[in-house]
Amino acid sequence: MDKLASDRLLEAAIKSNDIAAHHISSFEYFIEQGLQKIVDSESLIEPVIKPAGVTEFKIKLGKITVGRPDILESDSILRPITPMEARIRDLTYDAPMVLSVSYIADKKVKKEEDVPIGRIPIVVKSKFCNLSGLSPEELVKLKEDPNDPGGYFIINGTERIIITTEDLAPNNLLISKENQEGFLYSVKIFADADNIKVPHSIQLSNSNLLYITFGKLKKIPLVVLLKALGFTGETELVNKISKGDEDLENTIDINLVAFDVNSTKDALDYIGKSLHSIHSVETAETNIDSLLLPFLGRDPESRKLKGEYLMYAVSRLLSYSLDKKEVDKDHYSNKRLHAENYNLDMLFRFVFKQVLNDAKYNFERGIKKDKEPPPRYIFTSDQLTSRLKSSLATGQWVGGRVGITQHLDRRSFPSTVSHLRKVESLLTSNRENYKARDLHGTHFGRFCAVETPEGPKIGLTKNLALLAKISEETSDFAEIISKLKGYGVKTV
C-alpha cells in the first residue's frame, strides 16, 4: 500500500471515529433508557393519608420525557438556547423533564397530568442538544466551532466533563490466592443488579472446607447454602461440582461430612440462626432471595439458577487451587469503563427517591376532606434540578465520591482531546498497586502506552487510543441471548 493510500485510510478512520463518541452515546443511552428504568423501579407511591371514601389510593408514575435546552427570560418568554450563549451568560445548558403522574383510586384512574419535575444538564453535541444535525456553516453562524467534539456539560457557564472511570467487571469470577490467615484460595464476585450491589466471597480453607460470605451472612458453609437452595441430593452435588475429577470429589465429600445437614428446611434454619433471628427460616429465605447473586433474580423461582451458578463457581475455584493458578485481574476482559450513564444513573436514582418522599409528604399535607391536591402541587421542589447541577459543578457524588467531574482543559485542541479520552482507575493513588500500574498486553490498541501522569497517579490514569471505541450499552438482551445460543451456549 503506497503512503498516499495509507494516509487516506487513516484520515477516513479518524473522521469516522468521533473523539467524544463514548461520552455522547453513554449520555444518550441514559436519557433514552436509564431515566425510564429508574422511574419504573419507583413507579408507585402509596400515601398513608387517603381521600375520604377511598379504600385504596396510589400515585402512579408513567413516562418521563426530556425536552430541548431552553431559557425563560425575565419577560416570561421561553426560547431555545445555544451552548455559546450559556457560556457567555454564565448559564446552565439544561432541558426540562416532564413526568406523567396519575392518581388511582380503588383501581380506577381518577386524575392524570404531565408534571414538570426539574431540569437536567445536556451534553453538547448529543442528539438532545440544539446543535444536533447542524451543518458546519450553520454552526459558524451560531458562533460555534464546527470542529468542537462536544461530550461535555455547561454548568453556570463552565465546561465540565464526567471522567470515564475504570473498575473491575461486575458479576464475574475473580479467583486468587487468599491473604487471610487460615485460607488458601478465594473467588470474589462483585454482584451488581441495577441499584443493588453485593460483594460475594467464596473461600477455601487450609482444611479444604468451603465458606461463602455475602450481605450480613459471614462464612456460611457452602454446602449448607446449596442445600438451602434445594440441592439436597449429595450425589448430584458431587457430580455437578467435580465433573468426574477425583480430587474435587474428595473436597466436596469432606464438606458434606463436616456440615451434615439433611433437608432444605434444616439448612435454612442453620443460616437463619447464624443471624440470631427468631424466625430463622423466613429470615434466611429473605436474605437468599434479595442479596444472593441478585443479577440472577430476586425471587424464590431463581434459587435453582443461583445454586447452579454457585456450583460452577466452586468447581472453577477448586480447579484453579489445584493448578496453583489465579485470574488475571488486570486483563482488560475483567475490567469495565463507566461513563455518563453509570454515574448519572447513580446520582439521579438517589435524588429521585428524595423527590418522591417530598411528593408523598406534600400530598398528605395538602389533602382536604374529599379533595386531593393536583399532581403539579406535590412536585414543586427544585431539589432535582439543584442537586444535579451542584454535583456536576463540584464533582461531589453520592457515596462520598469526589472528582467525578472536572473542568474541561481548553489550553489547546490536543489538551481537550486528551482530557475527553482520559480514563481514571478507582484504585487509590497513595498505594503501590504495582501490577495495576503496569502496561498490560490487553492495553494494546486500546490505550496510549505513553500518556500517563508522573507521580502518584502514574499508570492509574490512562488515555484511550485515538481509534479505540467503547462498546455501547444496549437493552436488547433478547438478541444477545439468541446470538449466544447460536454460538452453542446452553441454558442451565
pLDDT, residue 475, reads 63
Q: How many domains does the chain have?
A: 2
Q: What is the pTM of this model?
A: 0.87
pLDDT at 432: 76
Domain that holds residue 251: 174-323
Instruction: Let me know if residue 9 belongs to a domain.
Output: no
Q: Which of the 8 DSSP states describes residue 114?
A: E
Q: What is the pLDDT of residues 330-361, one digit of tens each?
A: 999 999 999 999 999 999 999 999 999 999 88
What does the H/E/C string look like for 227-271? HHCCCCCHHHHHHHHHCCCHHHHHHHHHHHHHCCCCCHHHHHHHH
Specify whether 305 is located in the same domain as 441: no
Among residues 277, 300, 323, the one where a domain terminates is: 323
Residue 487 located in a structural domain: no
Same domain, 180 and 318: yes
pLDDT surpassing 60 at residue 481? yes
Tell me if 481 is assigned to some domain.
Answer: no
Q: What average pLDDT does the segment 271-281 reach?
A: 85
- DSSP annotation string for 13-47: HHHHS-TTHHHHHHHHHIIIIIHHHHHHHT-EE--
Give the pLDDT score at 406: 93
Is there a single domain that holds both residue 156 and residue 186? no
Please indicate, yes or no, whether residues 182 and 314 belong to a single structural domain of this protein.
yes
The reported pLDDT for the residue numbered 3 is 63
How many other β-carbons are positioned within 10 Å of the β-carbon of residue 228?
A: 28
CA dist 462 and 425 (Å) reads 8
Mean pLDDT score across all residues of the chain: 88
Same domain, 221 and 306: yes
Per-residue pLDDT band at 315 (split at 50, 70, 90): very high
Beta strands 422-425 and 164-168: pairing type? parallel
- The residue from 293, 323, 353 where one domain ends is 323
For residue 319, being part of any structural domain is answered with yes
Whether residue 311 sits in one domain with residue 379: no
The whole-number pLDDT of residue 109 equals 81
CATH number of the domain where residue 199 is located: 3.90.1110.10
Q: Mean pLDDT lowest for which of 85-89, 232-236, 266-270?
A: 232-236
**Residue 371 in this model has a pLDDT that exceeds 80:** no
Task: Confirm whether 228 is domain-assigned.
Answer: yes
- Using the 3D structure, point to which of 323, 348, 380 is the last residue of a domain: 323
Q: Confirm whether 112 is domain-assigned.
A: yes
Q: How confident is the model at residue 476 (pLDDT cuts 50, 70, 90)?
A: low
Question: Rounded to whole angstroms, how far apart are CA atoms 78 and 196?
Answer: 40
**DSSP result, 160-229:** EEEPEEEEEPSS--EEEE--STTEEEEEEEEEEETTEEEEEEEEEETTS-EEEEETTEEEEEHHHHHHHT
Residue 440 shares a structural domain with residue 372:
yes
Q: What is the mean pLDDT of residues 39-65?
A: 86
Tell me, what's the pLDDT at 180? 85
Task: Give the domain CATH number at 40.
Answer: 3.90.1100.10
Is residue 73 located within the same domain as residue 104?
Answer: yes
Model pLDDT for residues 157-213, shown as the tens digit of each residue: 999 999 999 989 899 999 999 888 888 999 999 998 877 889 999 999 999 999 999
* Residue with the three cell numbers 502518584: 456
Q: Are residues 311 and 365 in the same domain?
A: no
Contact indicator for 125, 64 with CB cutoff of 8 Å: no
Check the CA dihedral 220-226-232-238 and report its sign: negative
